[in-house]
Amino acid sequence: MPELPEVEIAARNLRAWARGRRIDRAEAEAQAKRIFRPGQPRAFVAALTGRRVGEVRRVGKHILVRLEDPAGGAEPLGLVSHLGMTGKWLRRSGVEAAPSHSRARLHLDDGSTLHYRDPRLFGRLRLVPGARFEDVPEVAGLGPDPLEEGIDVDRLAAALARRKIAVKVAMLDQALLPGVGNILASEALFRARIDPRRSASSLSRAEVKRLAGAVLASVAETIAREEGPEVSYVEEGASENPFLVYAREGERCPRCRREVIRRVVQGQRSTFFCPRCQG
Ligand SMILES: [Zn+2]
């Protein structure tokens, strides 16, 4: 499932592939209405065709694309892309076959086609009039992006101190640590040697500082490993698992080599940890 690192790579790819390019033609799969809500596929096609791709940014798990009118007459348009569980942007040359589950296509003026592929349809492509991203509630509610702005330890410590819920669950709040999802939360808590079941409010400032560093280290490591044209998302039970503890229930802990990794369910999501290292 895409979290901050994978979405960052997707944004970098989109920027490299499309920035400054004109969208000669857009296409949207008529059956994939869920992705295009509240606009419908037809509106998506009409709005994007003829636009020039401007700035591409990422905040949390959202990719924000600014689309200019090359003639200069119309106001800019925004596109917010959220990859959901299985969304990906792929680039194909004009002669290559479309990948399976291609829900939207942008045919660019260099002959390439960008495909938005999403087998499970949990992703979203939302048009934003005037590229006023601050008007989109799920974007406006995001805290400072950890990768773009770093993590302010005092701010994070103050926010965690107000919460009696488990620290792992608190970390998933996108107002706190946008882009951090289930995988990053488990990985960072393991790196920081903090029990995921502890109350968020019980963490010392030193522990919050360690946790902030661990989040950034996990992000950097995944970006370094995955950077390339196509990102592979790791699901639980996948054969190749690059993570320290995520989806490693029953395996020996990579740090202490004595205890085995345990799984607990918190807020309906799996958490993986070493009871010895994170005691
Ligand atoms: Zn251990």
Q: If we measure between CA atoms, which residue out of 154, 152, 166, 215 comes closest to residue 189?
A: 215
Rounded to whole angstroms, the Cα distance separating 63 from 25 reads 21
Instruction: Please tell me the predicted confidence (pLDDT) of residue 240.
Output: 82
Task: State the amino acid at position 24 in one-letter form.
Answer: D
Catalytic residue among 58, 61, 168, 191: 61
Burial class, 74, CB count within 10 angstroms (exposed 0-12 / middle 13-18 / buried 19+): middle
List pLDDT tens digits, range 218-262. 999 999 988 776 766 655 445 588 999 999 999 999 999 999 999
Contact in structure between 200 and 28 (CB atoms under 8 Å): no
144 is catalytic: no
**Residue 264 CA from chain centroid, whole number:** 23
164 is catalytic: no
Q: pTM here?
A: 0.94
Instruction: Please tell me the predicted confidence (pLDDT) of residue 236.
Output: 47
Rounded to whole angstroms, the Cα distance separating 178 from 61 reads 7
Catalytic residue among 3, 6, 8, 27: 3
Going from the Cα of 167 to the center of ligand 1, the distance in angstroms, rounded, reads: 19
269 is catalytic: yes
Q: Quick one: average pLDDT of 65-78?
A: 95
If DSSP codes are grouped into helix, strand and coil, which group holds residue 70?
Answer: coil
148 is catalytic: no
Instruction: Please tell me the predicted confidence (pLDDT) of residue 37.
Output: 74
